[in-house]
Amino acid sequence: MTEIKKIDDKVSEVIITASDYRASVYTYGAVLHSFSHCDHDIVLGYDDYKDYLTAPGHLGEVVGPFANRIAGASFVMDGKRYELEKNNGENNLHSGSKNFGQKFWKIDSWDDNSVTLSLESPESGGFPGSHHAVVRYSLSADGALRLEYTISSEHKCPVNVTNHAYFNLNGKGDIRNHLAMINASEYLKTDSSLIPVQRCSVENTDYDFRSPVAIGTRHNGDYDTCFIFSGKNRAVVEGDDYSLEVTTDLPAVHFYTASSLTSLVPGKGGRRLGAFDGFALETEFFPDFPNHVDYPGCYTEAGKPFSTWTQFRLIRK
């Protein structure tokens, strides 16, 4: 069952229910506001959608056209240099003011188990061309929340779209007690500004999550790292009573344990959000791929839309 609740003239909340599972999405930012089983919600967020407008951390947003970082806030494409906004030191993070996740989307269609949202994003922030973005959220009775994206543009432009939800499988508390498994034999080593500099093996490092590991037992649980999938594109995180399985057709996932998360206002239920209160698994192409000829990535252009999918499956253990 899908229910649409109009909040005001700009924003609606879309609630999808399938058996004992429920997900809700705001039309602002196409934000994933909640994902629950029997009212056990695993998504960090705010009770009032207006708090998402000014909140740091991009909670729940559909980030695009380019998620993650672009070094020096610039890239060269077909011999032309494009200058972007510097909003993360000298770099561009999550597309700056162009970010899809900070825009008002519209509802295109819905059925019993899904909703499709769309956005017309004019040229801005240094990214070439206007974009048409579509995301479809669908929920099944076995707890699979699937996100399907289609991005098109009038001019050639690098695209790297993701969802930036933060999860806590226990609903609250420090997520460094969660167990994480990421099917990745390599990760991207970064410099001090989190720009990738080298592909490295996870073997004998703090980045080896090929078998389940308690997040906090290594590296103080502080990860802001792109992992390169090997074999099946899959990650699983386990809490006390629930686990979350993430699968995708994208080649990598950015694992962020929210060491810098802060909350200007209280989150859901009046609880203030802070460091290590959640984790993000941002499926993606490699960060900064327009500046690395050997990194996988994608470019949209007239007549060449880009489509991808990611699925979050919530499992009661």
* 164 catalytic residue (yes or no): yes
Q: Of residues 13, 186, 238, 282, which has the active-site annotation?
A: 282
DSSP run (H or E) holding 17: strand 12-18
In this structure, is the dihedral angle defined by the CA atoms of residues 285, 288, 291 and 294, taken in order, positive or negative? negative
Neighbours of 291 (CB within 10 A): 16
* Alpha-carbon gap, residue 145 to 24, rounded angstroms: 11
In this structure, is the dihedral angle defined by the CA atoms of residues 271, 240, 237 and 224, taken in order, positive or negative? positive
Q: If we measure between CA atoms, which residue out of 238, 224, 232 comes closest to residue 250?
A: 232
Q: Of residues 164, 186, 238, 254, which has the active-site annotation?
A: 164
* 90 catalytic residue (yes or no): no
Distances (CA, A) of 115 to 14, 83, 200, 257: 8, 35, 39, 29
Contact present, 42 and 117 (Cβ < 8 Å): no
* Alpha-carbon gap, residue 263 to 296, rounded angstroms: 34
Q: Which residues contact 60 (CB under 8 A, 6 or more apart)?
A: 26, 29, 31, 32, 33, 43, 44, 45, 52, 163, 164, 165, 166
DSSP run (H or E) holding 243: strand 242-248
* Alpha-carbon gap, residue 290 to 82, rounded angstroms: 11
Looking only at Cα atoms, what is the longest distance across the chain? 54
Q: Which residues are catalytic?
A: 164, 282
